[in-house]
């Protein structure tokens, strides 16, 4: 994980990873966007391609074994719950999770949720399993909020993940972002993950940083991206340099190439 700063989750270490003094802001130009689009358009696809940091970390190999579970649902519900807590600080984490759960069920009931969505999955659960889902999401929200409080007063939940449609390439890039730290023109993206960081975790961070920058209308690159693994007690950080950005873009292009080869073998 070249160029990746690794620290534990002590207050001193968190102060260090959020200190971006001396890191000059970088801007993506329209020429760089066009060059990236040309590379993606050169990779054939018969479907709309979706790429993210998870595919980068898995060397572009798609997995079809995703299924909703208390673990896989906790980020969506926990993050939504924390946005409720930001708006209504007197609300408890569990109360906020139930509000987020109700939102998902309401979308499913109104027919606004697509097939296989979280809302549809929750609507078909037995009550004991719903209790486990709520417990997992509440734990996630609690861990995140506690760590966010130690990252300073400028931190806030991100409204949504970053999405970028590559012009003319039938390709959408998704960048995971859970929170952001903004002070004036300075910006840090914060991402939370379960379990332990693997050896390709740095590549995933680079990809998320690149998509976040591409999704910004002005092409502003965050000066740093911080990945936090609360269960492992580890934080990884990368500076938002042009070198890091280009590496993240290259990894996403490689993932598109691998994905194309995978689909070609299946079709054959």
12-16, 183-187, 240-244, 250-254: range with lowest mean pLDDT:
183-187
Measured CA to CA, the distance from residue 252 to residue 51 in angstroms comes to 7
Q: Is the pLDDT of residue 64 over 80?
A: no
- The pLDDT tens digits for 11-40 are 999 999 999 998 999 999 999 999 999 999
- The pLDDT tens digits for 83-101 are 999 999 999 999 999 999 9
Question: CA nearest 95: which of 84, 104, 109?
Answer: 84
The whole-chain average pLDDT of the chain stands at 93
Beta bridge partners of 50: 172
pLDDT tier at 237, thresholds 50, 70, 90: very high
Query: In the structure, how many helices (H) and strands (E) does the chain have?
Result: 9, 11
Q: How crowded is the C-beta side of 225, counted as CA atoms within 13 Å?
A: 30
Beta bridge partners of 187: 182
CATH number for the domain formed by residue range(s) 5-62+153-267 = 3.90.320
Domain boundaries, the chain: 5-62+153-267, 70-150
Measured CA to CA, the distance from residue 183 to residue 23 in angstroms comes to 14
- The pLDDT tens digits for 97-116 are 999 999 999 988 888 777 78
Q: What is the pLDDT of residue 2?
A: 62
* Secondary element (H or E) of residue 51: strand 49-52
Whole-Å CA distances, 3 to 212, 245, 255: 19, 12, 21
Cβ-contact 233, 6 below 8 angstroms? no
Q: Which long-range contacts (CB under 8 A, 24 or more apart) does 179-182 make?
A: 179/144, 179/148, 179/151, 179/155, 180/155, 180/156, 180/222, 181/18, 181/151, 181/152, 181/154, 181/155, 182/154, 182/156
Q: Is the pLDDT of residue 1 over 80?
A: no
Q: What is the pLDDT of residue 108?
A: 87
Measured CA to CA, the distance from residue 55 to residue 177 in angstroms comes to 16
């Amino acid at each position: 994980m070249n160029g990746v700063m690794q620290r534990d989750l002590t207050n001193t270490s968190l102060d260090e990873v959020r200190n971006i003094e001396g890191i000059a802001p970088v801007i993506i130009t329209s020429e760089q966007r066009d060059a990236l689009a040309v590379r993606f358009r050169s990779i054939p696809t018969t479907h709309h391609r979706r790429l993210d940091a998870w595919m980068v970390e898995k060397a572009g190999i798609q997995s079809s074994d995703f299924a909703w579970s208390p673990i896989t649902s906790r980020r969506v519900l926990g993050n939504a719950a924390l946005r409720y807590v930001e708006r209504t600080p007197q609300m408890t984490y569990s109360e906020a999770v139930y509000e987020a759960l109700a939102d998902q069920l309401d979308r499913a009931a109104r027919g606004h949720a697509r097939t296989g969505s979280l809302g549809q999955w929750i609507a078909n659960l037995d009550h004991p399993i719903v209790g486990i889902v709520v417990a997992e999401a509440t734990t996630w929200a609690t861990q995140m909020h506690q760590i966010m409080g130690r990252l300073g007063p400028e931190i806030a939940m991100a409204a949504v993940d970053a999405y970028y449609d590559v012009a003319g390439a039938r390709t959408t890039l998704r960048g995971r972002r859970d929170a952001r730290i903004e002070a004036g023109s300075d910006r840090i993206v914060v991402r939370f993950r379960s379990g332990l960081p693997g050896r390709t975790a740095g590549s995933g961070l680079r990809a998320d940083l690149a998509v976040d920058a591409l999704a910004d209308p002005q092409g502003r690159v965050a000066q740093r991206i911080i990945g936090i693994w609360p269960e492992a007690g580890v934080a990884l950080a990368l500076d938002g340099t042009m070198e890091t950005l280009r590496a993240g873009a290259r990894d996403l292009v490689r993932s598109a190439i691998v994905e194309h080869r995978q689909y070609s073998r299946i079709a054959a």
